[in-house]
Amino acid sequence: MTRTEAITALLRRPRPVRDLLAYELRGSIVQLLAPGTTAPTWTATPQLLAEALDTAVTRHAAAEAAAAPGDGHALVVHYDDLDLVAACQCGTPLGRARPGTPLDAVAVPWERHLAIGLPLARATA
């Protein structure tokens, strides 16, 4: 489902927002009219409609994020005998560095790995 479809689904619901309070009727209102009639399906203030749309889009984004693959791209550094060994969280090996030296030797390849976006190689252990 795209964001547009999520918004459309919200607008087509019988009651996408709460009922209006009497004082809210003094300001601008938005109505959805039923097909072929002048009878409103629902009525809302622009503020209420904006809040409902924001909620729908936020829920849609959260659902998409939850459905995304779990491969991350964090820089993972671990100690191995005398060296610090670096790899990306996705499994791409990035190199080694001596303890006490700057991690530029592994950070630069990691940044290049993120920027280029080449197909990810899996490390074999």
The confidence score (pLDDT) of residue 97 equals 87
- Please say if the pLDDT value at position 119 is more than 80: no
Residue 123 banded pLDDT, cuts 50, 70, 90? very low
- Please say if the pLDDT value at position 124 is more than 70: no
- Please say if the pLDDT value at position 70 is more than 60: no
- Please say if the pLDDT value at position 62 is more than 70: yes
The confidence score (pLDDT) of residue 65 equals 65
Mean predicted confidence (pLDDT) in 54-72: 72
Q: Whole-angstrom Cα distance, residue 125 to residue 122?
A: 10
Q: What is the DSSP letter of 17?
A: S
Residue 92 banded pLDDT, cuts 50, 70, 90? confident
Amino acid present at 116: I
Residue 120 banded pLDDT, cuts 50, 70, 90? very low
Across 31-58, b (16+ Cβ under 10 Å) vs e yields eeeeeeeeeebbbbbeebbeebbeebee
- Please say if the pLDDT value at position 78 is more than 70: yes
CA distances from residue 69 to 26, 29, 64, 72, 112 in whole angstroms, order as listed: 48, 42, 10, 9, 21
Q: Whole-angstrom Cα distance, residue 80 to residue 90?
A: 19
Q: Which residue has the tokens 């795209």?
A: 2
Residue 66 banded pLDDT, cuts 50, 70, 90? low
The model's pTM is 0.48
